[in-house]
A and B are shown apart, each in its own frame.
Chain A
Amino acid sequence: MEIELKLNGKTVTDHIEADTVLLDFVRAHGCLSVKRGCETANCGLCTVLLDGVPVLSCSTLAARANGRSVTTLEGLQEEAADFVGFIADQGAEQCGFCNPGFVMNTIALLRENPDPTDDEIRQYLAGNLCRCSGYEGQLRGIRNYLNSRGARHEV
């Protein structure tokens, strides 16, 4: 079947199998930031924005994205650049495999709630697993970024 969607703002048309998942589709179109992790919809590595909403591309049919807008980290470099340095400063990335998923979901969080509390950050990012860190580095990085913008301060 043929589908057409906006991928990072560009119209993409392709022929796919009915069971192609969005993860495979975006990777086939050069968006290699989107990682294959658990494939059981638990780890958040494959997070993309579908019409601006974070979803798991490993469990979303590409056919379901037909006519819609898909955004990956490749399309959000500028928005991500604002805060990824703060995460890197905390050494929170370590192996870095989970990082694109974390960044995508952090972008979704900050669009939805520009001034989250630490608990709100933890709650929103609960679906992003990191096997290297204890999540505190990511939290500190996001908090430092928010503080740098003059948002609320929490310890």
Chain B
Amino acid sequence: MLTIKNYVRAQSLEEAYALNQSRRSKILGGMLWLKMSDLRLQTAIDLCDLGLDTIEETDECFSIGCMTSLRSLEKHEGLNAYTGGAVRAAVRDIVGVQFRNCATVGGSLFGRFGFSDVLTVLLSMDCLVELYPEGLVSLKEFAAMKRNNSILVRLVIRKTPGKFSYQAMRAQKTDFPVLTCAASCVAGEYRVVLGARPMKAMVLRDEQGILKQGICEESAKAFADFATSVTPTGSNIRGSAAYRTHLVRVLTRRALQELGG
């Protein structure tokens, strides 16, 4: 059971960062995962007073504060126009509306969870995260970093011209996914991201040129075969490694065909 001795609404990132240097402090996200832990926190640090709960859209990018809810991502017209609805597709089956109103972008990314729909779809895009105090790093680099006491301040999605699609398999709607798959073509480069393997999402690029002539039924199938051969999968209560490997082939093909129109 989670216990918290002190609750502090930080009034600046400096204050939050200083408080977060103790081993028994944590930054609060949506509290959904943290609440189920057995941690005994001395200080819970809330960033809710820092105005980090909005999506700002410019000609170049979307700047998304870490306290922005997943529901806000789902409803943001500009973001869903840019991604062709891929972001909405990725988050719409995460439990329910109430859950997504609580869950935050920062919490979803900072955890770098193996089951994450959010990390999967965002890794298919041209994304950066702003860390305090380090500054901007690519999302891919961040996903590979070990957890530290930095603060994930915001997510930046560059509006690099591209197309996106998203697929996931769930044993039951609103449950954790058994496998997630995002496909994209950003600035002419194809990417397929596979998550919930049940390990952290991994990015595949078309290094063999399988898709260089574009996406058709054959090339999508060939890339799906390639993805199946190089993607490690594991077993948990939601599915076996063999089932996930089967899903890698199916969802990769579907995601690419959707991308190809």
8 Å CB contact of B102 from A60, A105, A123 = A60
User: Which of B1-24 touch A at CB < 8 Å?
Assistant: 2-7
User: Which of A87-132 touch B at CB < 8 Å?
Assistant: 105, 108-109, 123-128
At the interface, yes or no: A55 with Cβ under 8 Å from chain B?
yes
Is B7 a contact of A105 with CB atoms below 8 Å? no
Residue total for B at the interface (Cβ-Cβ under 8 A)? 26
The stretch from A5-13, A24-32, A40-48, A145-153 touching chain B is: A40-48
8 Å CB contact of B98 from A18, A21, A44, A63 = A44
Residue of B nearest to A128 (CB): B96
User: Which of B29-47 touch A at CB < 8 Å?
Assistant: 30-32, 35-36, 44, 46
Is A59 a contact of B30 with CB atoms below 8 Å? yes
- In the bound complex, residues from chain A placing their C-beta under 8 Å from that of B5 are 18
Is A64 a contact of B46 with CB atoms below 8 Å? yes
- In the bound complex, residues from chain B placing their C-beta under 8 Å from that of A18 are 4-7, 44
What's the Cα separation between A37 and B42 when bound, in Å?
Answer: 27
At the interface, yes or no: A76 with Cβ under 8 Å from chain B?
no
Is A64 a contact of B48 with CB atoms below 8 Å? yes
Residue of B nearest to A41 (CB): B32
Is B30 a contact of A125 with CB atoms below 8 Å? no
If A44-B96, A61-B44, A64-B46 touch, does A55 touch B31 (CB 8 Å cutoff)? no
Give 1 or 0 for each of A48-71: 1 = CB within 8 Å of chain B CB.
000001111011110110000000
What's the Cα separation between A1 and B31 when bound, in Å?
Answer: 19
- In the bound complex, residues from chain B placing their C-beta under 8 Å from that of A42 are 95, 99, 174
- In the bound complex, residues from chain A placing their C-beta under 8 Å from that of B30 are 59
- In the bound complex, residues from chain A placing their C-beta under 8 Å from that of B102 are 41, 55-56, 59-60
- In the bound complex, residues from chain B placing their C-beta under 8 Å from that of A109 are 97
Is A59 a contact of B97 with CB atoms below 8 Å? no
If A60-B102, A61-B44 touch, does A54 touch B97 (CB 8 Å cutoff)? yes
Is A126 a contact of B98 with CB atoms below 8 Å? no
What's the Cα separation between A128 and B96 when bound, in Å?
Answer: 7
Residue total for A at the interface (Cβ-Cβ under 8 A)? 29
Q: Which of A1, A47, A61 has the most CB of B within 10 A?
A: A61
- In the bound complex, residues from chain A placing their C-beta under 8 Å from that of B99 are 41-42, 56, 127
Residue of B nearest to A48 (CB): B98
Interface of A is mostly: mixed
Is A124 a contact of B97 with CB atoms below 8 Å? yes
If A53-B101, A56-B99, A61-B7 touch, does A123 touch B92 (CB 8 Å cutoff)? yes
What's the Cα separation between A61 and B32 when bound, in Å?
Answer: 11
At the interface, yes or no: A19 with Cβ under 8 Å from chain B?
yes
Is A108 a contact of B97 with CB atoms below 8 Å? yes
Is A125 a contact of B96 with CB atoms below 8 Å? yes
Is B35 a contact of A41 with CB atoms below 8 Å? yes
At the interface, yes or no: B212 with Cβ under 8 Å from chain A?
no
- In the bound complex, residues from chain A placing their C-beta under 8 Å from that of B3 are 19
What's the Cα separation between A60 and B5 when bound, in Å?
Answer: 16
What's the Cα separation between A47 and B95 when bound, in Å?
Answer: 13
- Known contacts A17-B4, A55-B98, A61-B46; can you find 20 more A-B pairs with CB under 8 A? A18-B7, A18-B44, A19-B2, A19-B7, A41-B36, A42-B99, A44-B96, A54-B101, A55-B101, A56-B98, A59-B102, A60-B102, A64-B31, A108-B97, A124-B97, A126-B93, A126-B96, A126-B97, A127-B95, A128-B96
Q: Which 4 A-B pairs have the closest CB atoms?
A: A127-B96, A19-B4, A18-B7, A63-B7
Listed in ascending order, the chain B residues whose CB lies under 8 Å from chain A are 2-7, 28, 30-32, 35-36, 44, 46, 48, 92-93, 95-99, 101-102, 173-174
